[in-house]
Structure 1
Amino acid sequence: MKAQILFAFADFHINNNSGPDDSSYLEDLRLTNPRHDKERIKDTKGGLLEDSYEWILDHPDFRRWRDDDQSRPLWIKGDPGKGKTMLLIGIVDELERQLAQLKQAERSTPHATVLSYFFCQGTDSNLNNATAVLRGLIFLLAAQQPSLASHLREKYEHSGHKLFEGGNAFFALSDILSHMLRDPNLARAYMVIDALDECETDLLKLLKLLVENTSASRVKWIVSSRNRHDIEQQLKLDDSQTKLSLQLKANADSIQCNVL
């Protein structure tokens, strides 16, 4: 198994106390629940094996990405069947466990650390376009943190469910997500998108939005895809950013690391 990683770029639960009117716009927003998608993928693939992701958690560069204030997206790329999706599921599960512990310490402060993610799937119309990705990411953010939900509710009060539909939906949702990620009550946000290459509609717009929202040190992105030049170009990797290749062999205990 090979995975190539380029460093370039609280309990985690749905908060049902976001406000008296939240349930209606969350219901209209939700095209799919990424938490359920994650569990479905696990079940389809026969469960999550620790060996498929545990190795990355102790890698010093992953720890630096996770903990360093310098905001750089983490791009995981590889050929089909190399374990990218299960690797990201393992990372998400680990972040959920860590946020559960952190949430206990955050109870006395309005500043929140949140995690949102989305798993693209090219064969499913609810999972293969940029608008669906934004709906999933915003749904998890709004459901976790009331102060973030206010950015969604404000727009929804003017447009209703039409906010999430039609040709302007991507742009409206982009604006909502950007405001959420700049919210003063946000301590840190971990944002994960799997299988970008299976986002068949408006992928370039989605990547542009991602890049625009990496400037804040509190926003940490992980994305995965096949090794595609157009995705690399949009992520705007440059020589000033660390490039690290990690090769994982399915039948070996060692990891080969090369700085490119």
Structure 2
Amino acid sequence: MISFTGTCEWFTNHPLFQGWRDNTSSCFLWGSADPRCGKSVLAKSLVDHKIRRSEKQIICYFLFKDAHTEQKSAVNALCAILRQLFPQNEKLLHKSILGDFGRDPGWLTKSFSSLWDLLVKVASDPNAGELVCPRRSR
């Protein structure tokens, strides 16, 4: 049996992580490092063993990869996060959000600022619960 005791404690003991973990409102925690420094291991450990899970929690992933143009795009990352988020909580896909999609087909999936605004709008919804989006890259 694999033991995860002590895995990633350097991260979970950091005041920024603890502040994010204990925050009662929506907020982001950004962690980055050079390639091959263990970000994927850290993300998996956090999601599987360190982050308190609840029924009101949604976890979304995007895997950045330098070798693939589409996997280097922040726009594609936000699209992927939103595509994972809505099926996990359909209450978030309400009329005002659908109105954003219906304005001009295709505009939303090309605009980082529009996608970011949409993610912030969704995260601010009282039905959203806790949204966890670990950034993983390879």
- TM-score, structure 2 as length reference: 0.71
Counterpart amino acid of 2:99? E
Counterpart amino acid of 2:111? A
Q: Does 1:126 align with 2:61?
A: no
Cα deviation for residue 81 of structure 1 reads 2.4
Cα deviation for residue 178 of structure 1 reads 1.8
Cα deviation for residue 70 of structure 1 reads 7.0
Q: Secondary structure of the equivalent of 1:76?
A: coil
Alignment of 1:101-250 (within 5 A): 102-103=54-55, 112-150=56-94, 152-160=97-105, 162-165=106-109, 168-195=110-137
Larger radius of gyration, structure 1 or 2? 1
In the superposition, relative to structure 1, how do residues 53 and 117 fare at CA in structure 2: closer, same or farther (>3 Å)? Answer: farther
The match for 1:237 is: none
Q: Does 1:68 align with 2:23?
A: yes
In the superposition, relative to structure 1, how do residues 185 and 95 fare at CA in structure 2: closer, same or farther (>3 Å)? Answer: farther
Q: Secondary structure of the equivalent of 1:69?
A: coil
Aligned mates of 2:58, 2:43 — CA distance in 1? 16
* Larger strand share, 1 or 2: 1
Unmatched tracts of structure 1, length 5 or more: 1-47, 104-111, 199-260
Q: Does 1:80 align with 2:80?
A: no
The CA RMSD over aligned residues, in Å, is 3.3
Question: Deviation string for 1:116-165 (max 9, x for gaps)?
Answer: 232211111221111101101111211211122225433223333x1344
Identity of aligned residues (%): 21
Matched-pair contact (CA < 8 Å) for 2:26–2:123? no
Q: Secondary structure of the equivalent of 1:176?
A: helix
In the superposition, relative to structure 1, how do residues 154 and 50 fare at CA in structure 2: closer, same or farther (>3 Å)? Answer: farther
